[in-house]
Chains A and B, each alone.
Chain A
Amino acid sequence: MNTDFINICLADDDEDDRLFFTDAFDELKINTKVSTFNDGVELMDFLHHPDSILPNVLFLDLNMPKKNGQECLLEIKKDEKFNDIAVAIYSTSSSEEDIELTFINGANIYIKKPNDFERLKKILSEVVTLNWQYHTSGLNKDNFLMRM
């Protein structure tokens, strides 16, 4: 892990949230490469492009124009070539219905967007390290559920 990069993608239409997110990763000691997308269409175009390096973890905002997070999630879960991507929902919603539905639709992680930066760093660090353990230690990804 110390020489490898973890590839991270975020799709979020809010510019401040994207900035907040990339800043948090910059301050973590984990080596990551973060790519951000402004909406679901932009994200899915990238993922479907044959030259793209697929992310290890994908963070999805739920409310986005053009294609929302739930639609992206369903599209990703339908396609076998995306099986190795851990999907984290990254949303302001704390509605139990939203949360349950995303998990049932195949999301691995649900993160309620925190308001303070230190908390965000802690959450992202926990998510990425736990995902890394699933990735490198032969754990069953179907059982990877985490709510922060």
Chain B
Amino acid sequence: MTQYFQDPALWGLIAGTPVAATAIIRGRKKISELRAEKAELKQHYANLEHHYTEAVEEAKDRAEEATKTTLKSAMRTLQGLASEQQLAISKLQETYGEHKILQDLLDIDHMNSQFARRAQSIAVLCDGWLGRRRHNASLYDVVRSAKGRIRHFTRVEIRSQSNFAIVSRAVEPVALVLAELLDNATSYSAPETMIEINIRPVPKGVCIVVDDAGVGMNEEEKARAAQLLSSENSASVSSLGNPPQFGFTVMGVLAARYGFTVSVDSTSPYGGVRAVVLLPDDLLTSLHEPEESPAVAASAPLPPEHPPGQPAPGGAAPAPRAPAYPAPGRQPMEQPAPVQPIAETTAGGLPKRRRRGAISIVPTQTESTETPARDSATTASVMGAFQRGTQSGRRSTNASNEGHEVQ
């Protein structure tokens, strides 16, 4: 046993153990310190990365905002111009209604409408101005308006009319959404096929169903469309893709903002896409607005305190304006008949016109053709004017023209 005590290796071992233990402990300590440092660094790095992402995100947002602001104001100018131009075209169409040029004016009008719609779509993406705010309009008119905003509008057939009307704030959005749907429908179907629109009342409101006979969409496209259509967050201009695809994004934004739904996930009976716009009750109204009777308003010359171009008080229709055509051959006896509001309406919701003689050139047998009695002052002024006229006529033509026809 003692031999072991004398062995220096033992003593070495005894002395070495604490040293080794110390070394190990120190090593462990060092390792844990390093670990902590590493974790700290990792944390730091993550923070940096986070800040960096945030900064990039912020820069992107700011760029997006700047783009939107720029586009928004640019589009607003374009929209204003398009709207001004539309008015100018309308006036030209009235002025040259009987000329051949009307055909060209109608074509230009069509192009202008398409141009206005494009500008409107971009404006919607930039949270911009939607354009003219309208009066309440019948659903049928809104659908027809939408139809007029696409290129191949003659392929669109509206199969049903309805008595529903759309409230003023939703007129433009619904028309724009429908126009985008119709644009898709005409673009993705053969040129000789028709696009059908049906209007169906449902318990939750009214559905506008657009059926095309195109190629349809695959599951992936449907999923993407559904995602765009339901997205409530604001659309981003930079993620439209190239070539940019506005349609579904615009529809999604408008549907979310005005509270209706658009879906394109079903198949039409013709194998194409069936798009359904569901308008809830709060966007709908009935057509029976107390509209001032247009027939009477139009036939009676407007009184002077009612200048043309200004809407009549209480008139729902934007129409009232003095008749553009003073009808040739109108009898001078035609005095403005007393304007009476007419309560009856036809089945189609239009104000019913009473039989009146004043409007027609050839009065019917039963109607009196007597000249309305004039009071003495009017008679005097008419006679005075007549006399002045004949006198001035004699003075001016005496020298030059007399005897010309007799030779």
**A and B found bound together:** no
What is the interface of chain B, defined by CB distance below 8 A to chain A?
A: none
What is the interface of chain A, defined by CB distance below 8 A to chain B?
A: none
